[in-house]
Amino acid sequence: MEIKERINEKVREIEAVIAEYLPDEAGYQRTVTEAMNYSIQAGGKRLRPMLMQETYRMLGGSERIVEPFMAAIEMIHTYSLVHDDLPAMDNDEYRRGRKTTHAVYGEAMAILAGDGLLNYAFETAIRAFELCTAGEDGGASGYRTAAAALKVLAEKAGIFGMIGGQTADILAESRGELAEEELLFIHEHKTAALIQASMMVGAILAGAPSETVQRIEKCAYDVGIAFQIQDDILDVTGDETVLGKPVGSDAKNSKQTYVTMHGLERSAEDVQRLSEEALRILDELGGDNEFLKGLVTQLIHREK
């Protein structure tokens, strides 16, 4: 089967896993849970849970313990998009081909839906411990790896990870200038940190030794930076109907990006270089890495 078809098949499998962990829409909190489910079910590439599951598999994992973490990372990612789209941040009306959460549910409910998704992500990831209690997934060693995975998930999403990156981004935007070093800080934290969390959680849950987890962290850094540069490229060269969101938003907001700093040609070369470096690390780690390598290669050539 072609890699694109295999990716689509995996997206369907991942969506079934996520659906198992979504909150019920009932009671006085019904509107917030509807808004949470609206945002997460809007589609999207499901890249982060896919990277997590495939890193887990590549390093020998074969249990269900990874599933609550897969749902959790997509909840964290979705909350970040819901909040990023708010009037106080990017004020975007379309995302993933449909109206943004605040455009449908209003600003207050979108703030709560984002908060709800972030908190529910941890409520969900913590359910991995129930699997250990039930005697699946390695008992005591399952507890240890789940606790270590939670630590990485929390750190990479927080002030030393994604929130830190978004903070630097917002401050730079209001200043209207940006040094190259700062741009890299923003990309590393705002974008690469969640990709690192995805792959590192997969590795940790598979019981990989710390040197391997560190190599995965570097690999995911390369993937994350390449992914962000490609995102900047698509904002210039992409097709609105394929992307599901407006193009040219960086130029409209006079936003400095990798592309405005280095031009399209150098940006494309850097995406290629970083991706090759990531593939080299995957080769070095061995295991059944064929799908993961296909996925990384596909990301370079993606159109959305």
Please enumerate, as own/partner, the contacts of 32-36 that have beta carbons within 8 Å and a separation of 24 or more: 32/109, 32/112, 32/113, 32/116, 33/116, 34/105, 35/101, 35/104, 35/105, 35/109, 35/110, 35/112, 35/113, 35/116, 36/113, 36/116, 36/117, 36/120
Q: How many CB atoms lie within 10 A of CB 248?
A: 11
Alpha-carbon gap, residue 154 to 118, rounded angstroms: 10
Please count the residues of this chain forming the interface with ligand GRG, following the rule CB under 6 A: 15
Part of the chain binding ligand GRG (CB under 6 A), chosen from 5-13, 56-64, 77-85, 246-254:
77-85
Minimum gap (Å) between residue 256 Cβ and ligand GRG: 13
Smallest gap from residue 40 Cβ to ligand GRG (A): 10
Q: Which stretch binds ligand GRG (CB under 6 A): 23-31, 76-84, 147-155, 255-263?
A: 76-84
**Interface with ligand GRG (CB under 6 A), residue from 33, 53, 80, 212:** 80
Of residues 231-260, those binding ligand GRG (CB under 6 A): 231
Which CB sits closer to ligand GRG, 102 or 190?
A: 190
Query: Residues 94 to 123: which contact ligand GRG by CB under 6 A?
Result: 96
156 belongs to the binding site for ligand GRG (CB under 6 A): no
Interface residue with ligand GRG, options 32, 38, 44, 238 (CB under 6 A):
44
Q: Which is nearer to ligand GRG, 156 or 190 (CB)?
A: 190
What CA–CA distance (Å, rounded) separates 304 from 210? 34
